[in-house]
A and B are shown apart, each in its own frame.
Chain A
Amino acid sequence: MNAILRLEHVSKSFVGVKAMQDISFDLRAGEVHCLCGENGAGKSTLIKVLSGAHQPDEGSIYFEGEKVTLTPHLALKLGIQTIYQEHIVFDSLSVMENIFMGLELARGGFLDRREMRRQTVEVLRYLKADISPETILDRLSSGQQKTVEIAKGLVFKRKAIILDEPTASYSAGEIDNLLEIIKAVRASGIGIIYISHHLDEVFRLADRVTVLRDGRKVSHYEIQGLSKTQLIKDMVGRDPSTFYQRESVPIGEVVLEARHLTGHGVRDVSFMLRRGEVLGFAGMTGSGRSELMELLFGSAPLDGGELFIGGRRVRHASPRASIRNRMCFITEDRQNSGLFLEQTIAENVMVANMVNTREFFASPKEDLRTGDGFIRKLGIKAKDARVRAMTLSGGNQQKVVLAKWFNTDGDIFIFDEPTKGIDVNSKQEIYQLMVGLLRAGKAIIMVSSDMPEVISMSDRVAVMKDGEMVGLIEKGAITEESILTLSIGDKAV
């Protein structure tokens, strides 16, 4: 076959994690080859190997039949372009300048703007994109910006284009547009590797599909005759007995009720939360889970809907009000929104509880005692509470964030990706701390993209898709398959 790119038995590990194991893969000219798999299946690593960002530990890469050692520079030179999920564009420059950035055409030492413009117009016309070459990039929608990146691939006659979740946060109309553009690119003979969590896109575009799971290649299909159920079945399939076994805790009365919450990209979400339970929120990246949590905590404004805590209607205008209503929010991005890295453990621990105390004066001595107390209670590996948060490891930093919220004596805990980037041992410790909360009669809302975590920790699982809650799975029915079917399949499944 006329494969442009071929991987043979490629493996790649990071500090003990086998991200890719013995994966073989090929891409032909003029086809769309889709990569499917859950979060953490190894898709990103595969892309990074193909774009030269990572070197494989074992196995070999062939480009048009010749063995190559890819570097990002060589990959581009050979004609492999990777378009990442987040845009890497120059906001304040025009479409044309973005396309030719770093590879400007020149004549006699001066930029040949006329030729650059001609080529830009030609490619944009071929893609049927209604964009003028002079438009400044930040005036374009994110879909149009993606089109510009794809146009760059055409202008420079790339041979392979890799698209990593290009439609992650797009409107339906934009997605249709983009799919048409990708079809046009395919028709020009370029090979496309396409990664998406949306199975309907996969079925509309793909010529072939490869499924990855836990760093291994599970299956490979031609699209004809392939069914969605088969695809989902391949993507799941971990053994649940290997998951963390959580002890169960008696469930009490309702402490929080959300009715038709709308705003911040979330539409009409309703649910109840009871004492002693973990309500898991599953869904793909960009499905609106974190946004929903921000609505609950009052850090984003609510456009509609009602929120009840302990049977009383509350209007959370700010995190300040939520903390007074005994809510806690352990955010996904510890460093950016959870920790005060330059400050000591003691100062981190006391900061949220300031809302609840009336005194004008603070007592550094007492804060140190409180901090030392939490260091012992949560097993934070630090000499004392005078240690700055930045010197701690990920797991210990997360414990400091937990201590900050435990210190407010809250009732309702929101955990957004509680164990992201944390090693296995600390993970278990954090699960145990969460169970401890349940035993103390607290309630937990947990957003997680880690499937085993969702399944082992949750009493019920709410599944989000495109800003809506598409289903609520009760205890007995929580499986990888039921969650995945709701989060990527058709709504009607």
Chain B
Amino acid sequence: MNDRASLEPRNGSRLSLFKRHENLTVTIIFVCFVTIIAVLQLIITGGKYPTFLSPVNLLNILQQVSVPGIVAVGMTMVMIAGGIDLSVGMLASLVSIVTALGVSKWNLGVWGSILVGVATAVALESAMGFIISRVKVEPFIITLGGMITFQGIALLLCNSREVIMKGELNFIKANLIAGAKDPVTGLNLVIPPYVLAFFLIAFLAGILLKYTKFGRRIYAVGNNPNAAFLAGINVRAMRLSVYAIIGLLVGLAAVMLLSRINVGIITLGQGLEIDTIAMVVIGGTALKGGKGNILGTLIGVFFLGSIGNAMNMLRLPSEVQFVAKGLVIVVAVSAGHVSAAVSEFMSRRRKVPLPLPAAEVKQV
């Protein structure tokens, strides 16, 4: 038929370093970013230890990113499975209002209220997951609808007012290392339980994705739903379950967020969907699904979380911060593609012409 055999092997035996370690590009950019900030601080303060890298500030960043980080872990799974979830922000607001109402008005007790709040999130996400897995409508649209609906429900529940609590959830933000001092600044060090929860959840999700059949199936469904179906995977059930999981994580994250500010309010989760999607995408998860991992997402979480913090350290006005944050996202995400394209180009140059597309050869 043709002499394509002579062009073989076009195998991937020479993977570039960047392809082999998919998180490398972003890590390098992240490290560069941290270095630049630290150096800038050194210059500004005239040689003193950069406060950006002080333990108290690093723990501070951790506290800020833990809640969006938990949601980002869920978003990673949804996006690997080929979906997306725009409703997480409003859902978090809704959960905070439900939980706050449970504690302050419905007298469900602290644990009862948390349970009701988290269950609400799981139920609503599962409902969206059910629709997405049965109907051929883009998850983008379904979850956009969900976002608006949840906002409405939340406003109805709280009569468009905030629900104030009296610190019943303070145990979630208790300091686990009370009394420890930062050797650099002399300030109190704080590690609340929810930071540990974030790491635990990320760890479990990492295991789930990489070392269980469930995880492998998530990748398969996101990568090629047709082939996944023919390989005996229940594609609908997989799609439904990733949304149930993100529901659980949004529920937990919302309760943690509530504990930090003690007020159930509609603005609580505002912008959460944008931040988490940005974190996940910076971490190398493909919008079209089938690709990504938790480690990458963690890098994305810390990266995005430290941008705002670093700008504050440099005393940049908030208007400038927006511009810088946006640019960093664009650069970080493009860099992965650029490095992939470059290594592809290099490996093509090394070998000779590519074989014709199969279809072209056959349709003679």
Contacts and interface: CB of A to CB of B under 8 A. Distances in A.
B230 A299 contact: yes
Contacts of B11: 381-383, 387, 391-393, 396
Contacts of B364: 14, 17, 19, 40, 42, 44-45, 215
Contacts of B226: 336-337
Contacts of A14: 2, 356, 360-361, 364
Contact of B211 (A364, A426, A427): A364
Given A297-B230, A381-B11, A394-B355, A15 B361 contact: yes
A341 B291 CA distance: 11
Interface string A390-428: 011111100000001000000000000000111111110
A322 B10 CA distance: 34
A297 B4 CA distance: 33
Interface string B1-15: 111110111111101
A435 interface: no
Contact of A15 (B2, B213, B286): B2
A395 B354 CA distance: 14
A225 to B, nearest CB: 32
Contacts of A44: 363-364
Nearest to B220: A351
B217 interface: yes
B223 A393 contact: no
Interface stretch (A70-78, A170-178, A354-362): A354-362
Contacts of A15: 2-4, 355-356, 361
Contacts of B360: 14
Contacts of B216: 347, 350-351, 354, 362
Interface string B332-362: 0000000000000000000000011011111
A342 interface: yes
Contacts of A361: 211-213
Interface string A333-355: 00011111111000100111011
Interface in B219-238: 219-220, 223-224, 226-234
Contacts of B286: 342
A159 to B, nearest CB: 26
A331 interface: yes
The residue among A324, A337, A392 with the most chain B CB atoms within 10 A of its own CB is: A337
Interface in B261-298: 286, 290-291
A320 interface: yes
A437 interface: no
Contact of B230 (A329, A364, A383): A329
A109 interface: no
B308 interface: no
Contacts of B2: 14-17, 423-424
Contact of B231 (A215, A352, A364, A424): A352
Interface bracket on B: 35 or more
B223 A340 contact: yes
Contacts of A360: 212-214
B310 to A, nearest CB: 34
Given A320-B232, A336-B226, A421-B359, A357 B213 contact: yes
Contact of B223 (A343, A383, A426): A343
B215 interface: yes
B181 interface: no
Given A362-B213, A424-B1, A299 B8 contact: no
B227 A319 contact: no
Nearest to B7: A393
Interface string B216-260: 110110011011111111100000000000000000000000000
Nearest to B230: A319
The residue among B4, B7, B217, B226 with the most chain A CB atoms within 10 A of its own CB is: B4
Nearest to B347: A391
B134 interface: no
B105 interface: no
Contacts of A299: 229-230
Contact of A364 (B210, B220, B232): B210
A447 B230 CA distance: 17
Interface string A24-52: 00000000000000001010110000000
B219 A343 contact: yes
Given A347-B216, A383-B12, A420-B358, A426 B5 contact: yes
A454 interface: no
Interface string A310-336: 000000001110111000010100001
The residue among B1, B5, B230 with the most chain A CB atoms within 10 A of its own CB is: B230
A2 interface: no
A466 to B, nearest CB: 23
A422 B234 CA distance: 31
A126 to B, nearest CB: 34
A388 interface: yes
B230 A421 contact: no
Interface string B156-181: 00000000000000000000000000
B12 A392 contact: yes
B13 A387 contact: yes
A387 B5 CA distance: 19
Contacts of A393: 4, 7-11, 355
A363 interface: yes
Interface in A292-312: 297, 299
B232 A319 contact: yes
Contacts of B223: 340-343
Contacts of A40: 362, 364
Given A40-B364, A319-B232, A425 B220 contact: no
> What 8 A-B pairs have minimum CB-CB distances, sorted nearest first?
A421-B358, A391-B12, A383-B13, A355-B232, A381-B9, A352-B231, A423-B4, A320-B232
5 contacts: A45-B364, A324-B232, A336-B227, A341-B224, A354-B213
Given A45-B363, A387-B13, A423-B3, 13 more contacts: A14-B356, A16-B1, A17-B2, A44-B363, A337-B227, A340-B224, A341-B224, A347-B220, A354-B216, A354-B217, A396-B9, A396-B11, A423-B1
